[in-house]
Chain A
């Protein structure tokens, strides 16, 4: 039979748990009389039930088993057997690199996944104070770049493990360093609290005998300051931004120049600026999860 949206909403709210006692009784009556309606309710319960994966485990007191055993009329001894505890599952740090692949369809897929993960990450932070946050930057239109700059499809997902629950995860900032709005060449991420930054090379390859050097450019600084040579490997992480005030870090322009191999010998940029970008807040800092109502 076809169910009205009211019925479906009622089933959904039953599963969510927000109905009052009378409405719950009504749904239970409907369920006892109608298997199809029961199936709708259960489908909601099971869909939402996966949320319990996020709930922490708490041990009940040891006496509970005895009461269950008695209430269920078990014949066996009521003292619990000593059962081997399954080993705690190890928390494996997330590896950042999915298998490399060389076809471009993968880029599109990664970008769709990135959107999906941003969505999931938002909710996850609403649920837990400690979790994995994700900064995802998709590569768009790689075909517009010359071969030498064309990004090789590889992971565009940079992950940061949020600090423990006691401190709210700090904001994460991302700058996409690119040329004239073209595809990213480097992705710079900055942790709002520690100001550690990481640079991920997306596609840029320096000419032989040359290096890319990253600069922080701000009207609050007398001249661009070097943040070091980047791009020698896929991934560069440095703490040097901690020397700068937050507003400088947040509002600066980040620029990449081509320098002689090993970086500018003088501490002043000598080569052309090839990529620039500014930081945006990709993952806002989070307040701890809402405390239960004090009523």
Chain B
């Protein structure tokens, strides 16, 4: 992975239509973005379609990237993740029986991040998530990492959808307060 500064530079070049920079950007970030969307979509083919759309969007909207608001990878991952969530929500629940092989890849464990590798922003967020009740922590993390719907979360937690809805909302408001937003 290139440094954030190098990625910012590449995105700036991409915004000017530099194809070589775009290819370098792709090479440096594709595996991370693919990891993010594959967890949500759980199917190689769908995840690759989303990756394709994501990079086309990055190519077309690189000029809108504001390094003051987000790190390059966070900006790119949020485009990819939004697209992936749109796909799963429109498709309805993805059946894992459809593609058990892809499941295994998606279940690949997250990068164990040593403390020093975490950014200050991540530490801050984890600190706030850590203040939630253990069940709510799980709820938020499963929602984020796996892209689960309220219905899927309700099934997992064996609780009515409306309860999940309330929990999610309260958890997000608690995180907001903790972050001082």
Binds B, one of A66-74, A184-192, A256-264: A66-74
Give Cα distance in the complex from A76 to B30, angstroms.
Answer: 19
**Chain A residues near B60 (CB-CB < 8 A):** 72
B12 on the A face (CB < 8 A): no
Nearest neighbor of B170 in chain A, beta-carbon distance: A9
| A5, A13, A64, A294: the one within 8 Å of B96 (CB) | A294
- Please classify how large the interface on chain A is, using the bins under 10, 10 to 19, 20 to 34, 35 or more: 35 or more
Binds B, one of A44-52, A148-156, A194-202, A226-234: A44-52
B101 on the A face (CB < 8 A): no
- Contact across chains for B172 and A128 when beta carbons are under 8 A apart: no
* Shortest Cβ distance from residue A182 to the other chain B in the assembled complex, whole angstroms: 30
Complex interface residues of chain A between 16 and 37 (CB less than 8 A to chain B): 16-21, 24
* Shortest Cβ distance from residue B82 to the other chain A in the assembled complex, whole angstroms: 8
- Contact across chains for A9 and B137 when beta carbons are under 8 A apart: no
Nearest neighbor of A58 in chain B, beta-carbon distance: B35
- Contact across chains for B28 and A290 when beta carbons are under 8 A apart: no
Nearest neighbor of B121 in chain A, beta-carbon distance: A50
**Chain B residues near A162 (CB-CB < 8 A):** 112
**Chain B residues near A121 (CB-CB < 8 A):** 130
- Contact across chains for B56 and A71 when beta carbons are under 8 A apart: yes
Give Cα distance in the complex from A58 to B69, angstroms.
Answer: 26
- Contact across chains for A80 and B23 when beta carbons are under 8 A apart: yes
**Chain B residues near A292 (CB-CB < 8 A):** 42, 96, 103, 106-107, 146
B81 on the A face (CB < 8 A): yes
B38 on the A face (CB < 8 A): yes
B168 on the A face (CB < 8 A): yes
Known: A57-B34, A76-B19, A292-B146. A120 touches B116 (CB 8 A): no
B8 on the A face (CB < 8 A): no
**Chain B residues near A124 (CB-CB < 8 A):** 113, 126
**Chain B residues near A51 (CB-CB < 8 A):** 122, 125, 141, 144-145
The 4 closest A-B pairs by CB, nearest first: A119-B130, A57-B31, A49-B74, A12-B172
Given contacts A55-B35, A55-B39, A293-B146, 7 further A-B contacts (CB under 8 A): A16-B168, A68-B59, A72-B60, A81-B23, A86-B1, A128-B110, A165-B109
Residues of B in contact with A (beta carbons under 8 Å apart): 1-2, 19-20, 22-24, 26-28, 30-32, 34-36, 38-40, 42, 44, 47-48, 51-53, 55-56, 59-60, 69-70, 73-75, 77-78, 81-82, 85-86, 89-90, 93, 95-96, 103, 105-119, 121-123, 125-127, 129-131, 134, 137-138, 140-150, 152-153, 155-156, 168-169, 172-173, 175-176, 179, 181
5 example contacts (A-B, Cβ-Cβ < 8 A) are as follows: A20-B89, A68-B59, A89-B117, A292-B107, A295-B93
